[in-house]
Amino acid sequence: MASHKTHYEDCDVLVVGGGMAGTGATFEARHWGRDMKIICVEKANIDRSGAVAQGLYAINCYMGMQWGENQPEDHVRYARNDLMGMVREDLGYDMARHVDSAVHMFDEWGLPMMKNEKTGRYLREGKWQIMIHGESYKPIVAEAAKKSADKIYNRIMITHLLMDEAQENRIGGAVGFNMRTGDFHVFRAKTVIVAAGGASHIFKPRAVGEGMGRTWYAPWSNGSAYALPIAVGAKMTQMENRIVLCRFKDGYGPVGAYFLHLKTYTQNANGENYEKKWYEQTKELVGEYIDHHPTPTCLRNHAFIQETIAGGGPIHMVTTEAFQDPHLETVGWENFLGMTVGQAVVWASQNIDPKYTNPELTTSEPYVMGSHATCSGAWVSGPEDLSPPEYFWGYNRMLTVDGLFGAGDTVGGSAHKFSSGSFTEGRLAAKAAVKYIQDQKAEGIKVTDKQCDDFKEAIFKPLETYTVAQNEITGGTVSPSYISPIQGLQRLQRIMDEYVGGIATNYMTNGNMLKRGLELLAWLEEDLEKVGAEDLHQLMRAWELKHRALTSQCVTEHTMFREETRWPGYYYRGDHMKLDDDNWHCLTVSRRDPKTGKFSLEKVPVYHIVDENEKKKAS
């Protein structure tokens, strides 16, 4: 290992991932921890990293409390409804009550916000969304983080968390490698905030071969947010709650502005409103949830999927009416320029002008993320003023490992945070992390050189494996002694796709398929000990794959545990096709034992705090 130089850095707050949550955390840590040493480590370059790298056209979470537009309670009700009842309301409320102040800072920092000419307020796209010229959204929040941190490390992938050897179940920092220099980096830290984004590419994507990488969710989001905590035994929640998106076909262009602002609508190939057709069938599965307003996202997907299976596809977005209005036509195109230029290119290549041709829609492969319209992620403590005892253990957004915090996609149970809510949650986590240090909870942490050296050996092993095994390569890439990251990735994606409810089975799975999936994932894990990397970029791919594989195990275990179909349209348990509120109106929580690698799962009550408080006030 002598060829990989080791760098040591000691700090108070270590932020892993400089996306929306990570920049929020880095900024806020400085506010509360004036004299503290704050480090942010990012796999890419924080100016253009994470899901917001290319920009956004709307901030999807803004209450507008200054104008009485919405209150945090409204947002809790909205998220609870969309997630078929399964959310952590304490976390959602906490985010919602603070999110407006984060958006106001973005405005101050120069993010161009669209304004309603009549009212002077931010221009609404929908009840929760406000419109921005957001191409530079990410560089703007990155600047705030850069000015706040002692140091930002770009191009370092964190592969493992360090544990304190003096006190059980306490964090000690993190390690990783620089993808440009190949150097090994040890960050010994009093607290770690994991903000490393969700997981794309764990299920086989629709775009394969020449189109591989063209997914809805950023291909570089590889589940580190989950794998890092899972590996050290932190509890996770709702990992079965993957997300499937209805998007414009092939380019995955967003549909929000089209539905909400342009008032476009969908129809099947015969020009019919197919959603109505599936009402009775959906009611059979989920009961009165289908009558909720707005219709939960998964149930709209369900109608789409059923209609397609029944032969009613392709499904189209009716754009030809709205696009006759020159203003709406401009908005429709600009929507892509700000965040998904590729969709415009796809339409050009397919000779589609939405003014004259209704473009096709599709449902995506599933993704795992905790900040969008689903809530997979870590089981964290809530705020002390809101959380019931089962949801509270001292510090807001602290995981079940002491000193380890999370924000954004990392945190489970709190959907619909989006970009602004993730930034806000980063701020909340950082404030609590600073307090944890000020409360002397991080004294006497011991991280030995041996712990670091062992990780160093493990991290660079794929390079060694390749160096030795390359002599046996035949036929270009085939070797009996190692597998490449792309081979491993494709194997993982097929397992997840075919056994855990991907597109191959129209999102269908069952107990037997999941059991088989878990067996295949265990063998993959064994084989990943032999993953080879020919250069530093492939070394990153190897570690991304390992993080994806561990995340996938957790997703599969959770899907196996929840014996009902809670979110038809996201996935189906064929052996338990109905929503079962009697037995499963609860959150699922898992823990992987770091020593044995075995998962254990439990049900945890879901508390409907907002309505309970209202009921109490009324009585």
Q: What angle do helix axes 485-499 and 511-527 make, rounded to 10 degrees? A: 170
Number of residues engaging ligand FAD in binding (CB under 6 A): 39
Q: How far is the CB of 221 from ligand FAD (least distance, A)?
A: 5
Q: How far apart are CA 199 and CA 222, in angstroms?
A: 5
d(CA 418, CA 35): 31
- Minimum CB separation of residue 438 from ligand FAD in Å reads 25
Q: Is 50 in the site for ligand FAD (CB under 6 A)?
A: yes
Among residues 14, 16, 234, 262, which is the contact residue for ligand FAD, using CB under 6 A? 16
Residue among 27, 93, 106, 216 that touches ligand FAD (CB under 6 A): 216
Give yes or no for residue 430 binding ligand FAD (CB under 6 A).
Answer: no
Whether residue 450 contacts residue 489, with contact meaning beta carbons closer than 8 Å, is answered with no
Query: Are 22 and 145 contacting, i.e. CB atoms less than 8 angstroms apart?
Result: yes
Work out how close the CB of 532 gets to ligand FAD at its nearest, in angstroms, rounded to a whole number.
Answer: 20
Range 349-408, binding ligand FAD (CB under 6 A): 371-372, 408
Contacts (CB under 6 A) with ligand FAD, residues 20-49: 20-22, 41-44, 49
Q: Which residue is nearest to ligand FAD (CB)?
A: 19
Stretch of 18-26, 28-36, 205-213, 451-459 lying at the interface with ligand FAD (CB under 6 A): 18-26
Of 369, 273, 350, 373, which is closest to residue 318 (Cα–Cα)? 273
| Minimum CB distance to ligand FAD, residue 417 (Å) | 6
b/e code 122-132 from CB counts within 10 Å (16+ = b)? bbbbeebbbbb
Q: How far is the CB of 144 from ligand FAD (least distance, A)?
A: 14
Is residue 205 a contact residue for ligand FAD (CB under 6 A)? no
Burial readout 358-368 (b: 16 or more C-beta within 10 A, e: otherwise): bbbbbbbbbbb
Q: Which is nearer to ligand FAD, 221 or 264 (CB)?
A: 221
- DSSP structure string for 399-446: -SSBTEEE-GGGB-S----HHHHHHHHHHHHHHHHHHHHHTTTTTT--
CB of 61 to ligand FAD, least distance (A): 6
**Residue ranges in 221-260 that form contacts with ligand FAD under rule CB under 6 A:** 221, 224
Q: How far apart are CA 486 and CA 465, in angstroms?
A: 15
Q: Residue 395 CB, nearest distance to ligand FAD (Å)?
A: 19
Residue 125 engages ligand FAD in binding (rule: CB under 6 A): no
Q: What is the DSSP letter of 58?
A: E
- Interface with ligand FAD, residue 485, by CB under 6 A: no
CB nearer to ligand FAD: give 16 or 315: 16
- Least gap, CB of 307 to ligand FAD (angstroms): 24
Q: Give the burial string for 276-294 (b: 16+ CB within 10 Å, else e).
A: ebbeeebeebbeebbeeee
Q: Exactly one of 217, 258, 436, 567 binds ligand FAD (CB under 6 A); which one? A: 217
Phi, psi angles (nearest 5°) of residue 86:
-95, 80
By CB under 6 A, is residue 141 in contact with ligand FAD?
A: no
Confirm if 289 and 299 have CB atoms less than 8 A apart.
Answer: yes
Q: Are 408 and 425 in contact (CB under 8 A)?
A: yes
**Interface residue with ligand FAD, options 38, 39, 58, 528 (CB under 6 A):** 58
Q: How far is the CB of 187 from ligand FAD (least distance, A)?
A: 11
Compute the least distance from the CB of residue 563 to ligand FAD, in Å. Answer: 30
The nearer residue to ligand FAD, 372 or 573, going by C-beta atoms, is 372
419 touches ligand FAD (CB under 6 A)? yes
Q: Is 564 exposed, middle or buried (0-12, 13-18, 19+ CB in 10 A)?
A: middle
Q: What's the alpha-carbon Rg for the chain, to the nearest Å?
A: 23
Select the residue interacting with ligand FAD from 29, 36, 59, 145 (CB under 6 A). 59
Structural tokens at position 170: 């306490």
Query: In the complex, which residues of this chain contact ligand FAD (CB under 6 A)?
Result: 16-22, 41-44, 49-52, 56, 58-60, 157-158, 195-197, 216-218, 220-221, 224, 371-372, 408-409, 417-420, 422
